[in-house]
Structure 1
């Protein structure tokens, strides 16, 4: 399997330390044996610890996800689990991977490798994942909830989005959340592609970079800035924009 692995950042290592402190402080070697930590887009960190039980208690990662959600964190960027008694970073189990993919398809997971720790996208960690919609269609069950939000695109972007060349879009005063989305292209015969918003990155207009422009399908930052002024004539450099990361769902 080809997986895109990244070296851990300083923030990633701090996340590992947080999870380790959780299990070292609260672990008892029997019920509590794994600590987890998750980070959201604002940099906030939430911890969790497993609750082993013979009926199937929740894993530390799931407890951390619940802790984050209870605190209002919706957009999560990274997660890690650490074992007690010096076992170090642990890879998530299959159930945890499916939950992470379903609820936070843009999250990265810290996993152990032969020479240390690496950061892996959940989509790479669980390729060919179970898809509820496909199961429902094959079994004759009612499909899951459809996308209730839409992203509207200019007709010029259809081919780039459809082929995967364009996977981000910079938006202003256009609220969107992670999860299923209908991508609507304003053609004579309207075209709608099904997709998933995988991550949302808030950034001021002045903080946008050349890399953001290229990822959005533009030649350079100047072209992106021109396009933003075209779509949003009253936009200012001090205004907050949103970088929306998405992927097409076949």
Structure 2
């Protein structure tokens, strides 16, 4: 909240920029955005903060809050922002005002029984072509991903041949963990000899990966 208040004090103008939002990402970094008022419908501060965070490397925002000028304090997101957050980041939490002060709530609590645009699309889980035999025969059912957001639900498993090969499947669980907290059992599930091999192996896919970075252990199954 203080990051949003500071941005508003420094850059708000009481006219075009009257709300600031601060977003906490998966690495503990804070990204800030200001609204841009226009009679045609300029973006809210929350949407600007999402874009700023993405440009800064964030892939799994954890928490967001908006603050208004003139002493308005914490503001709840508008309907459009709630829909955007629920569609793109259904696991994000939002700080909102209540009669007993501010409260942290899942965005899904702010938009119950909502239409989920994301449910109309099948997410894609991409693999190198060499993994196709192991996925087909069932020996590979785990993959570790970095800054590649996925969620439990139907998925299209895409193998990157010259002509893509696709298998229909389902992501059954996702668990976020630091690279250096992966245990031997999890490492072996993804084809590594031990946990000590995970960082070097994943760097083949993600060269900048560090031991302290958070990855997601994704478990999946193949239909049929």
What range is the shorter-chain TM-score in?
Answer: 0.5 to 0.7
| Partner residue in 2 for 1:204 | 179
Q: What do residues 17-51 of structure 1 show as CA deviations (whole Å, max 9, x unaligned)?
A: 00011111122222211111111111111111111
The structural deviation recorded for 1:115 is 1.9
Structure 2 residue aligned with 1:228: 186
Of the three residues 4, 14, 28, the one matched with 1:43 is 28
Cα deviations across residues 114-150 of structure 1 (Å, max 9, x unaligned)? 222111111222111112377xxxxxxxxx5432217
Structure 2 length normalisation: TM-score? Answer: 0.67
Distance in 2 between the 1:242 and 1:70 partners?
A: 19
Per the alignment, in what secondary structure is the counterpart of residue 3 of structure 2? helix
Q: What residue is the counterpart of 2:149 in the other structure?
A: 178
Match of 1:116 in 2: 101
Task: Give 2:70's match in structure 1, choosing from 66, 85, 102.
Answer: 85
Using the TM superposition, give the Cα deviation of residue 68 of structure 1 relative to its aligned residue in structure 2, in angstroms.
1.3
Aligned residues of 1:150 and 1:182 also touching (Cα < 8 A): no
Which runs of no fewer than 5 residues in structure 2 stay unpaired? Answer: 128-134, 157-166, 200-213, 220-224
Map 1:1-250 onto structure 2 (within 5 A).
16-132=1-117, 145-149=121-125, 173=144, 177-179=148-150, 182=154, 192-193=169-170, 201-205=176-180, 207=181, 225=183, 227-228=185-186, 230-231=188-189, 232=191, 234-236=193-195, 239=198, 242-244=215-217
C-alpha spacing 1:230/1:32, structure 2 compared with 1 (3 Å):
closer
What stretches of structure 1 of length at least 5 have no aligned partner?
1-15, 135-143, 156-168, 185-189, 209-224
Question: Which secondary structure does the structure 1 equivalent of 2:124 belong to?
Answer: coil
The SS at the match of 1:149 is strand
Q: How many residues are matched? A: 185
Q: Structure 1: how far apart are the matches of 2:29 and 2:112?
A: 28
The SS at the match of 2:193 is: coil
Runs of 4+ off more than 6 Å? none
